[in-house]
A and B are shown apart, each in its own frame.
Chain A
Amino acid sequence: MKITVTSGKGGTGKTLISTSLALSLSKKYPTTYIDLDVEEPNGYIFIKPNIQKKEPITLPFPKVDYDKCNFCGVCQEVCAYNAIAVLSFNNEVKIFPELCKSCGNCVLNCPEKAMFEVPREIGTLTYGKRENLKFFEGKLNISEVTTTSAIRIVKKKSLEDIRNGEILIYDSPPGASCPMVEASKGGDYIILITEPTPFGLFDLKIAVGVVKGLNKKFGVIINKEMEGFDELYEYLKKENIKVLLKIPFERRIAESYSKGKTLSEIGKEWEDIFLNLYNQILEEVND
């Protein structure tokens, strides 16, 4: 079972909820928490895992064999990202790593077979554990723009040697563009987090559009719940969207969050709430 926790708006509580859910479930089931918010991975703050190993996340990056290259310019022509400049006057082929998406098109099209690929590090994959909970974290290097590729690689790794009946919780980046889509694609079920403000609602609508487009079953958790913004509830009712859980807007929760505490560390009752939440999801997925 794979569950993606995501949101249109940032800062709605994805990490607090996905780590609390993962820690609660791990008391009963083999569970893995996977931090796919590779630009800003914060799950480690709440899980506090024992780190077992780290390895580089790499993408293949083209290089030129100058013994074979005749500067014909085909690689530059076929590159859809303008990442290659053939400077024949200088006998040089410049390849810009910040533009290259590692698609391999230049290598496959080079008439002289003068291009090959070497691994280029774009980030770090961290493996850890806390009791029965397995922990994965992808972290993108600063100034890298290959967020979606990093997510794809971390997702694939998380599916290697999973235990029998493993639950995977994917903590996704926010938004509605390709990184969020890539993370959402990994889930059998999507939890969308929102908050009762105009920003929360506007961005929820966008995220619902993504999830519906992916044909995924999904439900909403309302975080920082408070009075005074009925439009959110009207929208959820009109669209017949299931509300899985409401988490109140409480200073106590916000303060504990600021110190890196999960909900189940704030109150034991949250463990049962998240186990119930999982059963609800399970029923819906098997329905």
Chain B
Amino acid sequence: MIELAIVSGKGGTGKTTVSASFSVLAKNKIIADCDVDAPDLHLLLKPKVNIKKDFFGMKKAYINKDSCIECGVCIDVCRFDAISPDYAVDTALCEGCEVCFTQCPVKVIEMRENKAGEYFVSETPYGKMVHGILGVGEENSGKLVAIIRNVARYYAQKEKVDYIIVDGPPGIGCPVNSTLSGLKYAVGVTEPTESGLSDLERLMELFHHFKIKPFIIINKSDLNPEMSEKIKRKSIEEGAIFLGEIPFDPVVVESLKMGKPVVIYEKDSKAKKIITELWKKIEDYLSRKV
């Protein structure tokens, strides 16, 4: 079984468009959406939720104002600026470190359970999907990502699938680290812009850190052919497998607006043909390795 994450560094390069299509094309798979901040894969795959679970993040501090002597110790020791001058805890900023809880001289602070999101096991027309959503302004997206990956792996083993297709979050921080840790392969989707290149370079460093073999795709490649060439050269130099380019095709935006993966939207679209070829290349490569 191969777990394959689709990530990008830069947002909006087409991760979800590619993930949705790969989720359709891969034959025997579990699908996972690890972008728990702004999950979008469900908009294309239309999952029917079968199991719904609460996700608890770090506990949050709560100050019992009736017994508080307003000494200011908690405000001083909190390094996350989460306690206001009138002794209210901003739960969006509280990181649950418990320093106020241990230092309060009159012990009027308690740590309360905090529902920070939800996760789901669903059925889609293309297979089982594990996904989740973080509550508004919550932290600990990395922990929710780890749970989603664990649940996806549980079903992958149970159902003896060949692939877990993971739609990853943008950036290179906490949730991305959590998405990539322990993986052997990942797909990096980029675009031929200065920003795309800059972010890809940082993403490549992260791939090296995790010892991941990346496949690179340039989306909207005809926007700036020179830049596409530069990115292609760069990825090969850095030891990535350059998978190919997806030129801009209006059908991609259309299919998105209709809420469908592009590979099932129109029978003979250019984008469908290319993405199908890209997936075939991944399958061929991996079948030679396994």
Give A contacts to B, CB under 8 Å.
8-12, 15, 39-40, 42, 45, 78, 80-81, 98, 101-105, 108-109, 140, 142-145, 147-148, 152, 173-182, 185, 197-199, 202-203, 206, 209-210, 213-214, 226, 228-229, 251, 254-255, 257-260
B-side contacts of A209, CB under 8 Å: 136-137
Residues in B neighbouring A178, C-beta threshold 8 A: 92-93, 95, 137-139
- Among B37, B138, B170, the one with the most A-chain Cβ atoms within 10 Å of its Cβ is B37
Binding site for A on B (CB under 8 A): 8-13, 16, 37-38, 40, 43, 58-59, 77, 79-81, 92-93, 95-99, 102-103, 134, 136-139, 141-142, 169-177, 191-196, 198-199, 202, 205-206, 209, 220, 223-224, 227, 253-254, 256-257, 259
Of A101, A181, A203, A258, chain B has the most CB atoms within 10 Å of the CB of A258
28 interchain pairs (CB within 8 A)?
Answer: A11-B10, A39-B171, A40-B10, A40-B171, A45-B198, A80-B58, A80-B98, A81-B97, A103-B79, A104-B79, A105-B97, A108-B102, A142-B202, A142-B209, A143-B206, A148-B95, A148-B139, A175-B170, A176-B37, A176-B134, A177-B138, A177-B141, A181-B92, A198-B43, A206-B37, A213-B92, A258-B193, A260-B193
What are the nearest 7 A-B pairs in CB distance?
Answer: A10-B11, A11-B12, A103-B97, A175-B37, A258-B193, A258-B224, A260-B194
Among B174, B175, B198, B209, chain A packs the most CB atoms within 10 A around the CB of B174
The distance in angstroms between the C-alpha atoms of A176 and B193, with both chains bound, is 25
- Number of cross-chain contacts by CB at 8 Å: 186
Supply 10 further A-B pairs (C-beta < 8 A) apart from A175-B37, A259-B193, A260-B195: A40-B171, A40-B198, A45-B195, A102-B79, A177-B137, A202-B40, A206-B37, A210-B137, A258-B191, A259-B227
Nearest-neighbour CB distance to chain B for A119, whole angstroms, equals 14
User: Would B43 and A199 count as touching, CB distance under 8 A?
Assistant: yes
Inter-subunit contact A213/B137 (CB<8 Å): yes
**CB of A250 to closest CB in B, whole Å:** 12
Asked whether, in the complex, the Cβ of A203 is within 8 Å of the Cβ of B257, the reply is no
Query: A147 contacts B173, CB within 8 Å?
Result: yes
Given known contacts A140-B173, A145-B177, A258-B194, A105 and B99 CB-to-CB distance under 8 angstroms: yes
Contacting pair A206 B199 (CB below 8 A): no
Q: Which residue of A is nearest B256, CB measured?
A: A197
User: Nearest Cβ in chain A — how far from B259, in angstroms?
Assistant: 6
Assuming the contacts A15-B195, A142-B209, A175-B38, asked whether A39 and B98 have C-beta atoms less than 8 A apart, the reply is: no
Q: Which residues of A lie under 8 Å from residue B81 when comparing CB positions? A: 152
Measured in the bound complex, the distance between the Cα atoms of B138 and A12 in whole Å is 22
Residue contact B173 to A179, C-beta cutoff 8 Å: yes
CA distance A108 to B102 in the complex (A): 9
Q: What's the nearest-Cβ distance from chain A to residue B74, in Å? A: 12
**A255-B223 contact in complex given A109-B102, A179-B173, A202-B38, C-beta closer than 8 Å:** yes
Assembled-state Cα–Cα distance A181/B58 (Å): 17
Residues on B with beta carbons closer than 8 Å to the beta carbon of A78: 98, 102
A90 to chain B, nearest CB (A): 26
Establish whether residues B193 and A101, one from each chain, have CB atoms under 8 Å apart when the complex forms.
Answer: no
| B195–A42 touching, CB < 8 Å | yes
Chain A residues contacting B134 (CB-CB under 8 Å) are 176-177
Query: Contact at A40–B12, with CB atoms within 8 Å?
Result: no
Q: Is the CB of A174 within 8 A of B92?
A: no
B144 to chain A, nearest CB (A): 10
Tell me which residues across on chain B come within 8 A of A255, comparing CB atoms.
223-224
CA distance A258 to B222 in the complex (A): 11
